[in-house]
């Protein structure tokens, strides 16, 4: 069994558990696509906290949790439980931040996700470590909740902040709101500021301007997750799950036209 070959699973549906603190949309898309390849439907359970009761639907083949901390904390569910495979979040943040530094910016501001979320923290750490390694000033983090609306509100505050000319947003949806706020404030991207997102959602190439972002293969991550789940069901050692590789996709939002 390879890391991307889930093999046979028990008949039924696959459950996915989210607490709302993860950047879950693209991850769910990848899991659903991988599950469809095996003929499985996906049922999503959203719970308000890490210690909330977990509903289990009849005939569920297994449960995937998006926050890896949940695996050890969940009460007995009667079904196999695995954490979702993930991309190398820190590496993606490093590439995004270094890209902005390399085109001439003295520092990079960060529009981060929820502080309690592991994905948001990993991306923030990658950004912070990169700035520190280059001897750059580390600006205060401006936070959102992964939504475009929160990115818009953050963009309103950043637009009046002195010296903001490069922003790494922790996901593409927040970058979308940020771009809207900058445009409303009279800041043109990439003339007045450069913006990089994370995820490369299908719409990112059609933002105004098209968004530079970190691409991760969510379907490959979904396949690795289902391979681990199949091994768990069969009682065998799961295949090694290295982090899914990331790629920086450069588009108009960070073209070095102004420096």
For domain 89-215+248-254, give the CATH superfamily.
Response regulator (3.40.50.2300)
Does the pLDDT value for residue 75 go beyond 80?
Answer: no
Does the pLDDT value for residue 237 go beyond 60?
Answer: yes
Which residue has better confidence, 135 or 19? 135
What global pTM score does this model have? 0.84
Q: What is the pLDDT of residue 246?
A: 94
In the chain, the percentage of residues whose pLDDT exceeds 70 is: 85
Shared fold status for 13-86+217-243 and 89-215+248-254 = yes
Q: What is the pLDDT of residue 1?
A: 33
Residues 157-181: tens digit of each pLDDT? 999 999 999 999 999 999 999 999 9
Residues 26-73: tens digit of each pLDDT? 888 888 898 888 888 888 887 776 555 566 666 778 888 888 777 777
Angle between helices 148-159 and 172-184 (to 10 degrees): 40
Report, as an integer, the average pLDDT of 170-199: 97
Ordered by start, the domain boundaries in the chain are 13-86+217-243, 89-215+248-254
Matching residue, tokens 């603190």: 21
Which residue has better confidence, 140 or 241? 140
- CATH architecture, range 13-86+217-243: 3-Layer(aba) Sandwich (3.40)
């Amino acid at each position: 069994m390879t890391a991307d070959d889930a093999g046979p699973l028990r008949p039924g549906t696959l459950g996915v558990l989210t607490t709302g603190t993860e950047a879950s949309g693209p991850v769910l898309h990848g899991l659903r696509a991988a599950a469809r390849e095996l003929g499985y439907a996906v049922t999503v359970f959203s719970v308000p906290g890490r210690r909330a009761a977990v509903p289990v639907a009849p005939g569920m083949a297994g449960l995937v949790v998006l926050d890896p901390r949940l695996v050890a904390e969940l009460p007995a569910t009667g079904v196999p439980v695995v954490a979702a495979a993930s991309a190398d979040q820190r590496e993606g943040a490093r590439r995004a931040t270094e890209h902005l530094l390399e085109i001439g910016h003295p520092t990079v501001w960060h529009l981060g996700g929820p502080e309690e979320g592991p994905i948001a923290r990993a991306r923030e750490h990658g950004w912070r470590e990169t700035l520190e390694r280059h001897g750059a000033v580390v600006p205060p983090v401006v936070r959102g909740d992964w939504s475009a609306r929160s990115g818009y509100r953050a963009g309103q505050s950043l637009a009046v902040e002195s010296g903001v000319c490069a922003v790494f947003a922790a996901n593409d949806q927040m970058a979308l709101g940020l771009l809207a706020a900058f445009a409303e404030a009279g800041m043109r991207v990439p003339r007045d500021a450069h913006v990089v997102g994370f995820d490369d959602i299908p719409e990112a190439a059609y933002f105004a301007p098209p968004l530079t972002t970190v691409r991760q293969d969510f379907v490959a991550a979904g396949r690795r997750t289902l391979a681990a789940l199949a091994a768990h069901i069969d009682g065998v050692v799961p295949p090694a799950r290295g982090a899914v590789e990331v790629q920086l996709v450069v588009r108009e939002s960070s073209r070095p036209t102004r420096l």
